[in-house]
Amino acid sequence: MSLRASYTLFAPLYDAAVRRASRKLRADSLATLSVPRGAPVLIPGIGTGLDVPLLPRGPRYVGLDLTRAMLARVPRAGAGLTLVQGDAMRLPFRDASFDAVVLHLIVAVVPDPRRCLAEAARVTRPGGQLLVLDKFLRPGERAPVRRTLNALTRRLATRLDVVFESLLAEVGGLEIERDTPALAGGWIRSLVLRKLG
């Protein structure tokens, strides 16, 4: 099953499954957003808009998602949010278009996490922020149960075998400013990255 098909099916259930568990994690991550008033901020994989009520006032937000079913559920209250249907692995924006990119529960969801991170870095201006919240293995972590389950979960909803440090090394041009264990013994991590240049 393709990612587009599975998330179209999950759209009506997504909030019930994810909202409560992720609300504080999302709020804590968004509290680190530091951009000037009116600055453009991209949210690839905005999903049903669970980040929207938590977004700091001031920036201009662009939310992108692969499926119309998810975008149809995004709350439209408040100004400063534009929605775009598109692929987080092929962002339809020019280089250095955004002061920040918010990657909440998307890097380990897409089929090619490296490409997702590389695209986010491409559209971020030099000196800009990338906020990453997702589940990542640590370098050298064996995690046999997660790696075994990954064969199934990667086809339906998310990958369980992504090592963030490997992605970072492959993409380059980003530095970690903050890496905080967020949940599940540090399996879910909240990271603040800065684009070099």
* pLDDT (tens digit per residue) in 70-84: 899 998 766 689 999
How many angstroms separate the first and last alpha carbons of the chain? 39
Of 102, 85, 93, 103, nearest in space to 123 by CA: 93
> pLDDT at position 170, please?
97
What are the residue ranges spanned by the domains of the chain? 3-195
Q: In whole numbers, what is the pLDDT of the chain averaged over residues?
A: 87
For the stretch 140-164, pLDDT in tens is 777 656 655 545 555 556 666 888 9
List of residues 6+ apart from 139 with CB closer than 8 A: 163, 165, 166
On the question of pLDDT at 97 being above 80, the answer is yes
Q: What is the pTM of this model?
A: 0.86
CB 51 within 8 A of CB 23: no
- What's the pLDDT at 185? 78
Domain 3-195 of CATH type 3.40.50.150: yes
